[in-house]
Chains A and B, each alone.
Chain A
Amino acid sequence: MIQIKPVGDCGVLVELGDSISEEVNSKVMELNRRIHGLSVEGILETVPAFCSVLICYDPLKTDYGAVSKVLSLLSESLEGKTGLRGKLVEIPVCYGGSFGPDLSFVAEHGKITEEEVIRIHSSRDYRIYMLGFLPGFPYLGGMDERIFTPRLNSPRTRIPAGSVGIGGEQTGIYSMDSPGGWQLIGRTPYRLFKPEQVGKPLYEAGDSIRFVPISQEEYKEIKRNQEMG
């Protein structure tokens, strides 16, 4: 069930399903790739999300009729292959301690040890369904239910960039300093949002992320190297 809808005079939304699933999201990424592969006159950019792609166009160069016609052709016979596609990006994470003040709570809540939380969290690859909320903030799917943990009752006013957290059934990384209500279990030394560096971002929607546990020493080492460029 594909739906193509107008978004004002500058956008078109293509809905490819109404659930969060790997299959639908794979179709989203496939359509997104097709659009970018074709470089259609007047199309400015796209926003792939869980089950839709938003296409922004320049109304001085094209219009809804022309863009929606192209999109309906491109949306034909999308396969929606499951299994991880895109690239796999490893994110080093120093778990616990001052970087992960809520690690013990997550362990307690799941009635497991902190070591098990780390092992479970870092033992699978997470699909990036969408980027949003903050620049470079990945919405990740597929977390193990043993570490599902409700959000904090009152959000923190400032969470440092790089913090890795769990919010309900989701896990993610705060790409910049921000308020937020997720349970923090660790921090990556990687700088995920670098406005001064134009070019390929570390990851995009459709890629996958693997968290790799590191020690405090390794954290400091990587951090130093990052800062030196």
Chain B
Amino acid sequence: MGFEILRPGALSTVQDKGRRGFLSQGIQESGACDKYSMKLANLLAGNLEEPETAAVIEFTLKGGEIRFTSEEIIALTGGDMTPCINEKPVPMFSPLLVRKGDILTMGLAVSGLRTYMAVYGGIEVPSVMGSRSTNLKCRMGGLEGRALLEGDYLESGKDLRQFKKMIKKLKGNEKLAAVDEDEPWLRHSSTPYRFYGNDRMVLLRAVMGPQENAFTELGLNTLIRNPFRLSTDCDRMACKLEGEPIELKNGADIISDGIVEGSVQISSDRLPMVLMSDHQTTGGYAKIATVISTDIPALAQLKPGEWVAFQYVTPGEAVAICRKEEEKLRIFKERLKNIIYR
């Protein structure tokens, strides 16, 4: 029992929090680009104990069309692709009860870039090396290691008895469980933004280094004193930025070392590239800074042409921000437990 992909959208993949423990073998984490929205979708869909490990679908830029072949609890978060069920608009950030035969349709993202659909029980694909995430580069995980195609059939891993109990409690109370419009801070990750002219500019907080010594004082300041915009060269591997070139002392080449999600690499064109969840595991370009984990989701929701700025924070500040963000979701989970799933 699950759902059928009638139209797959631009790039739709099965993801969870990612595959950890294999970077030393050259296998990247993968996982949802916007992990905040993934976790929120899972909580809303009733996966209270598995917000990180229940697999979801990540839609990019343009959603698709899905036909449900059984009753499910689903939830949509992240970018707004104007979702409709049976041609009627449905709310995001809310649990949705779908019936057998219902068709979910999504269009182009009118805000954000990536939309997450969670299903109660999680999407049931085989766990490969500890994760259900699709790794497109290694062609593993998810559904046959690839993006979803028309005609694919996915199942949810729900326990039917538990599901019936959940439905009973949820029916008619969906609004109570939803994250309302008056709680925008809970709908998205807590990354600050400013305005650049009339445009919104996301402020990415980053820890300087580890190769700060490869840059001049001017170069280190250029990163934080100028706006950058996303180029068209952005995908699940990296976001290439455009803007003021960053001055290096010598060349951009270093002896290759390990890379993390968020690494801000400056290559020979002296422009920043922020590595995303499908990043290569090692690289030979100097890294001026690392975007903190809390701010990756906000970057993952930007389209080419949109603006970012950088701000340096200390590792201590970054860890504190990360813990505060986690606390936000923990409190929301308690709320769901207390008002719906008592």
Contacts and interface: CB of A to CB of B under 8 A. Distances in A.
B255 A19 contact: yes
A86 interface: no
A223 B256 CA distance: 33
Contacts of B260: 7-8, 10-11, 54, 56
Contacts of B101: none
B24 A8 contact: no
A147 to B, nearest CB: 22
Contacts of B258: 11, 13, 47, 49, 52-54
Nearest to A3: B210
B312 to A, nearest CB: 11
A84 interface: no
Interface string A175-199: 1100000000000000001011010
Contacts of B316: 63-65
A52 B210 CA distance: 11
B75 to A, nearest CB: 24
Contacts of A139: 256
Nearest to B141: A195
A131 B255 contact: no
A162 interface: no
Contacts of A52: 255, 257-258
A195 B256 contact: no
A31 B326 CA distance: 32
A115 interface: no
Interface residues of B, number: 47
Interface in A1-46: 5-11, 13, 15, 18-20, 44-46
B333 to A, nearest CB: 15
B280 A133 contact: yes
Interface stretch (B40-48, B57-65, B317-325): B317-325
Given A5-B209, A6-B210, A201-B25, A18 B315 contact: no
Interface string A49-71: 11111101001100111000000
A196 B27 CA distance: 13
Given A60-B323, A60-B326, A20 B315 contact: no
A213 interface: no
Interface in B113-172: 128-130, 138-141, 145
Nearest to A176: B138
Given A11-B290, A193-B138, A50 B257 contact: yes
A97 interface: no
Contacts of A18: 255
Contact of B262 (A8, A13, A131, A196): A8
B43 to A, nearest CB: 17
Nearest to A66: B319
Given A44-B20, A48-B24, A131-B24, A9 B255 contact: no
B322 A54 contact: no
A60 B294 CA distance: 12
A47 B322 contact: no
Given A10-B260, A131-B24, 13 more contacts: A8-B290, A8-B291, A9-B321, A45-B20, A49-B255, A51-B255, A52-B257, A63-B319, A65-B316, A131-B282, A136-B26, A195-B140, A198-B129
Nearest 10 A-B pairs (CB), nearest first? Answer: A54-B258, A132-B282, A47-B258, A8-B290, A9-B318, A64-B315, A195-B140, A5-B210, A6-B315, A13-B210
16 contacts: A6-B210, A7-B287, A8-B206, A9-B292, A9-B322, A13-B257, A15-B257, A44-B21, A49-B255, A49-B258, A50-B255, A51-B255, A54-B257, A54-B258, A132-B281, A204-B25
Interface of B: 20-27, 128-130, 138-141, 145, 206-207, 209-210, 255-260, 262-263, 280-283, 287, 290-294, 314-316, 318-319, 321-323, 326
